[in-house]
Structure 1
Amino acid sequence: MSEPGTYVEKSFTRDTRYLTDRITRDGRDGWPVQPGRYRLVVARACPWANRAIIVRRLLGLEDALSMGICGPTHDKRSWTFDLDPDGLDPVLRIPRIQNAYFRRDPDYPRGITVPAIVDVPSGAVVTNDFKQITVDLETQWVDLHRAGAPDLYPEALRDEIEAVAEPIYQDINNGVYKCGFAGSQQSYEENYRRLFDRLDEVSERLRTRRYLVGQHITEADVRLFTTLVRFDPVYHGHFKCNRSKLTEMPVLWAYARDLFQTPGFGDTVDFTHIKQHYYVVHHDVNPTGIVPLGPDLSGWATPHHREELGGSPFGDGTPPGPVREPVDPAHNPVLSAVHA
């Protein structure tokens, strides 16, 4: 399942019992960083996987770490490779990411989630710990980063990044799910208030600074962006997070547009997959499975003026090169306007 969790006193609690092996420079867990050995499996619909897609692109790891892309919808068994012509991942030659979890543990009892990094020789999942995956790409895969790759997790800022990102995770990234999957009115209202209180707090922080931490993009911005870009298409309506649309929160809307228009962010976003996933898969929230036609996406291409606050997206680095695995232009029509 994409959102494994349980309901405790009618509140949604995410299942975070991940496979926590790490792929590191020294191979301490038995998984050394090696170009071509591993495959990152994602779904563009998933915000947690979208983080890994962005970081991989910003760091220029496409040649070192291949990527398999699942379709936007799935059943109870797992995400499938239905976008590939024969329904099999072209490298792993499996129809479902579930198969790679079972290669790791035939009785694997937890959620079948993306992102997941698979060891290609054995076909087994190494890790699906989405938070650690991006941090390790930033800190353990450094020998394979492209020339000019930004430092997304600067050592001097790591404590601040985590201090800022943790409440964002609890109340915003995961908070939208706590609203959407609330099992009681009280639980919904409590999490709704926490969500918008935190959004207001983050908005105030960003009023006078271009990025969440420091003078250029960091891991903290990646984590927040993937929720903000999904806010109006799905969370506002589907998850009843409807005090305000993102487009009605001026600072956050400008901040999100700034990131969206930065190479590596908006060019990874598939709005069609995002809407299909949430509205089709979550039968308990949307039993009809009807996918809305809106919202209007044209605003993502409008000027944001955030450069007036100083800072620069990549610090001393450079933008990533052309997109290797482009999003279908019909699924993100605003991209042509952004990069015109």
Structure 2
Amino acid sequence: MNTRLRLITALVIGLVATRPMAASAIPADSLVIRFANRTRLVIYAPDKAGIQALANYDLNKIVREMGMQLDSLPDGKTAISREGDKYLKDTVLVIKKKDGVTIEINRSGDTTWTETIQHKKDYTQSKRKRGGGGSSFDYGLSIGLSNFLQQSVLPVYPENSYALRPIGSRYLSLAMGAMPTLVRGKRASLKLYYGLELAWTNFMFDADVIPERTPTGIAFTDAGRELRKSKLTVCTIGIPVVPRLTFYNSDGRRIGHIGLGGYVNYRIDSYRKIKEADGSKDRRHSNFDLADYRYGLMAHLGIKSANFFVKYDLSPLFVAGKGPDVRVLTFGIGL
């Protein structure tokens, strides 16, 4: 018989029994716990009052603290019996696991007491939210805005020549990765998020300028006409690594998280896109003297189902001496 079943049986019997049962005594009542995987736990008590006293106990807490993982029990039927067929079926405890966990005590087929002790949370959902499996797969979409933070002023690159439109400079990324649990507690757990991220950062210029690569570096040339749009797009692939502290309420539901880590990105493509006033477009690919590698810091903040992020490049966007000395700041939400 499964050792865990023996352990939980012994504990529940200790809670409900008021005196030891003699070897020859016929049980006045039986308690049958049916799990979703068809495993049964049968418990004898001296009387119905002993079984009904279970209402005073938090069975979920007992199972959780003893490390019972109901969805990992072996298939097949398991029972604890005395003399084989002397089960009295006038009292039955049924645990249903679908939309919630419900306890029902029936007497002679009639329901006499019903209580839902866990709403809209089965063990599988709780295991996923609490990270009970030790690791979980994570993927998602992030959208946000980017801006330049100037580090030093270069006469050849006046700041107004490459100033950005705040709303037009958008960020988009697709990420996938793992998030194993390093340390688990009742109200908090330490996880480590790492993975692979494909991102597009769009720098839309506020002035009517055209970014061009020259022998001395990138130039932001005045177009001499009104442009509907002028932007420089950088596509990167990167590896983020963010330790994350996740918090839970007394029911085991995740209420938020906070994380701080870093990332390394590699530029795989870059291009400029000009949209004229008449709607015509000009798109040209080049490296525009952009740095191939970028690295920086990343912060995560989660409040219930809302996820926010901030990224800051510690490395310059352009090759030193061939572009303005700027860093990139990006912030947004994760979906």
The interval holding the TM-score normalised by the smaller chain is: under 0.3
Could you say which structure has the larger radius of gyration?
2
Higher RCO structure, 1 or 2 (CA under 8 Å, sep 6+): 1
Normalised TM-score (structure 2): 0.20
Normalised TM-score (structure 1): 0.19
* Bigger proportion of residues as helix: 1
